[in-house]
Amino acid sequence: MTKQDRLNLIAGKCFNNSSLTDEECDLLHSMKISDLVSQGYSLNQAEHMMKCCKRNMLRRRSQFIKSEEC
């Protein structure tokens, strides 16, 4: 699967409010908004995808912390 295909899948998940996998979130986290815009996404789409990544990273971090408390 190409990088563009993975980004399209991630965009679909973000706009559907679905959870991202760790790999998908890591891919988005490694990019800048300008990278997404240069890939053909609008500024609003790119910002939404980054917010989705941030939500998923926070969710992943909170699950890790809860598992350590047990």
Q: What is the pLDDT of residue 34?
A: 96
Cβ atoms < 10 Å from Cβ of 21: 13
Q: pTM value? A: 0.81
* Rounded Cα distance, 33 and 37, in Å: 6
The pLDDT of residue 70 is 58
Which residue intervals of the chain are DSSP H helices?
3-15, 22-29, 33-38, 43-69
* CA proximity to 24, closest of 1, 47, 45, 43: 1
Q: Which residues of the chain have pLDDT under 70?
A: 64-70
